[in-house]
Structure formats: structure tokens, C-alpha cells
Amino acid sequence: MKSDSAEDFSKDKCLLFFSPHMDAAPPQPSPEDPATSRFREYLRIQTVQPEPDYDGAVRFLVREAEDIGLQIKKVELSPGRIITVLSWRGTEPHLRSVVLNSHTDVVPVFEESWTHPPFSAHKDQAGNIYGRGAQDMKCVTIQYLESLRRLKSEGHRFPRTIHLTLVPDEEIGGHTGMELFVQHPEFRALNAGITLDEGLANPTEEFSVFYGEKCPWWLTIHCGGNPGHGSRFIENTAATKLYSMISRFLEFREKEKKRMQSDPLLTLGDVTTVNLTKVNGGVSYNVVPAELSATFDLRIPPTVDLKEFECQIESWCKAAGDQVTWEFHQKCMNQTVTSTDESDPWWKAFSTPCRELGLKLKPEIFPAATDSRYLRAAGYSALGFSPMNRTPILLHDHDEYLNEGVFLRGINIYTRIITSLACVPPLPDEH
């Protein structure tokens, strides 16, 4: 009888030998990219307003800076609000620097509405990393750091100094963060030439880059009128005037909305948004009030004549009747924008590597507000950019996430952009 040697195994017997029913070691998962691990660690630090763990964030950032080999400085302009500045000195430090800005705080969460705990940095099988700050904007902070880690490890040196500025309280207006910092000698000592700050995800193939912002106006309309008993037809009431004012604002809102919808070239940053956010007044169910008020949030693009627009609001108030006044809680009047002309050396240094990487840039006006508004108002060039295309816009939303592949590609993108900016030749006023 012929023996069953290894050479005599039939195809069927081979299949049987390697049957999945037999004991075998399960496939081992691929190790996670260290940059992803550091991103997830940062997401777990609960820098959530109104009580952010800034100490935890600063400890993390300092540890990473020490590991990379960056210079570290801490600036405290408001109690408990540390601004961390991480620097990589250039070979020609008299040249204006590249400043990479990022805020460390995140907005509150409604945990019951999240699929995964918002500070767990859960990564699902598709590679989506869930966490508050995944898009806004802890991803960008880590992408900055990982880009510098890569460049330093490869032995690169650049003429221009690179600074990372990590600031608090952007999510509550930046008044104890960048608004103070940009006017302080410590910021002026950075000798900034160009600043990068946060942008937005883009669900299309395009990458949004923001060269300006809308002016936020928050104002309350106060309407006074005749009080009286709720059973009578009182004339000249506060309610009648308030109705007139609300109608004016919401009619204008609808007009702007239709204007944007009718022109595919317009974005949210190109039109004025209006939202009624508060209505106050009244003393009892059966008393006609002597005063009512309504508060509006307006975001006005740089193309609008602000003085003319304020005159329009004044005309609405006069048309509503007597005892109608308005009060501003915020009234930004700075409409400075950063150049996106190819003749501008900073824009050219930003856009060229993007084109080389095949990125389709979409220059836009930011529809809300970031720390860039303080930078531009102080005379500094600032571009808002978060390299997240084919990604839903989820900042401040439930289940905020960023895909790992998008995050890692962003490091590659920033590596090229930072290199280009840090190598801008000396400008005429820098010799």
C-alpha cells in the first residue's frame, strides 16, 4: 500500500489540512499609527467649557514639545488661562515667522445624544474617531505637532522660525485668550508673517480655506408702548412694535437665504445671516406690557457697507413707532481680509504645495467667528484651514468625528505647507 508522504497529499487533503475548523492563531490587528494614538489621547483630555482641564492639556502639549525638541514658553494673561507657545527657531530668525494657532478648549456636550462617550476617542471599524474636538480643533493641533515631529526627525532646517500658539477660551469668544494675546508684547515678539488657524470640514472634494470672516453683531431691540388690561384693544403697544421689528429682520433673513440659494457660487460666508435668539418681556397673563424686547444674532460679510446697514436698522426702528431703541452687545466693525492673490508671497507659498498635492482649494469667508478675526484686526495675515474634505461638518454637533485616514493625510498636507511657508525668501522689507 502506498504511503501518504507529503508529496502524495491530494488537493482535497490539502484543503482539509488547512480547514478553518482546525485551531489556528487569529490574525493580529495592525498596530495603530502613533500619531493617531496621540490624537486620541489628546481628545480624552476634557477641556470642555465651562470648566476645561487646561492643566491636563498643557501637560500633554509640553510633553509632546519636549519629545519633538521644541522650545516652550507659557504666558498667563488671565488667571488660570495659560497660552502655550512652542517654537522651532529658524536659521534666519530676523525674518518674520510662521505662526500655527490652535485653541485648546471645546464646547459642551449632550452625552445622552452621542453614540459613543464624547471623551472616549472611540475608533470604529471604518476608522472614524469620535470625540468632542475631533474636528474643532484638536485634530489640527496634533497635525501641526506631527508635521514638525516628522520634519525635525528628517533633519530639516528652515530660514523662518515656526511658532505654535495654543490658546484658551476661543469657544467663549477668545476674550481671555487671543484677544489679549495679540495685543501683548509676547505676541509681537513672535514677529509673525503669516498665521494659520482653524477652518471647517468640507463634504465635497474641495478643501475650504478662509481668508476673512463675517462681522458678528448681537443686538437687542427694545420696544416700549402703552400698558393696560388684557381685555382691551390697547393702542400703540410694545407688542405691535415688536411684531414690526421681528417681521423686518425675518423678511431680510428670508431675502438673504433666497439670494444664496439662487446663486450656486455664493456660500454662507457671502450673505448676511439673521437669527432671532431671545424674546423678553411681560409681567402677567392679563397685563399688556409696557416693554418687550427681541435679540438678534447677525453675521455680516465683508462686502456689506456696515454704516449703511446700521442706517437700515435705524430706519426699521423709526418705522415701527416711538419708544423703539436698539442696544449692541457685540458690534464688530473690522472687515480686514487676507490676500489670496498669487502675487502675495504668503498665499503663493500656501497654495502652491496644495496644487502640487492635487488639492482643490475653495477660498471662502468664514461664516462664523474664530481667533483669526483678532489677528487680522491687528494687521496680521491669517488663513483658516483644516485639511478635511469628504467629511461632514460636525463641529459643535453630536457624534463629532474625524476619519483616521483624513487625519493622517492632513499631516502630510501640513508638512508640505509648513515647509513652503517656512522657506519663503526674504521679503523686500526684511533685508
Active site residues: 105, 170
176 CB neighbour count, 10 Å cutoff: 19
Burial of 223 (0-12, 13-18, 19+ CB in 10 A): buried
What are the cell numbers at 211?
481668508
Burial of 192 (0-12, 13-18, 19+ CB in 10 A): buried
Give, in degrees to the nearest 5, the angle at Cα 83 between 63 and 335: 135
Name the residue among 408, 394, 404 with its Cα closest to residue 114. 394
Name the residue among 128, 129, 107, 130 with its Cα closest to residue 117. 130
Taking the C-alpha atoms of residue 98 and residue 369, their distance in angstroms, rounded to an integer, is: 22
Taking the C-alpha atoms of residue 97 and residue 366, their distance in angstroms, rounded to an integer, is: 24
Name the 3-class secondary structure at 333: coil
Q: Are strands 381-385 and 287-288 parallel, antiparallel or unpaired?
A: unpaired
Listed in order, strand segments (DSSP E) in 131-206 are 162-167, 192-197
- Helices within 2-137 (DSSP H only): 11-17, 34-43, 54-68
Contacts for 379 with CB less than 8 Å, ≥ 6 apart: 336
Name the residue among 212, 222, 209 with its Cα closest to residue 413. 209
Name the 3-class secondary structure at 210: strand
User: For the CA atoms of the chain, what is the radius of gyration?
Assistant: 28
For 12, list phi and psi in degrees, rounded to 5. -65, -40
Residues, the chain: 431
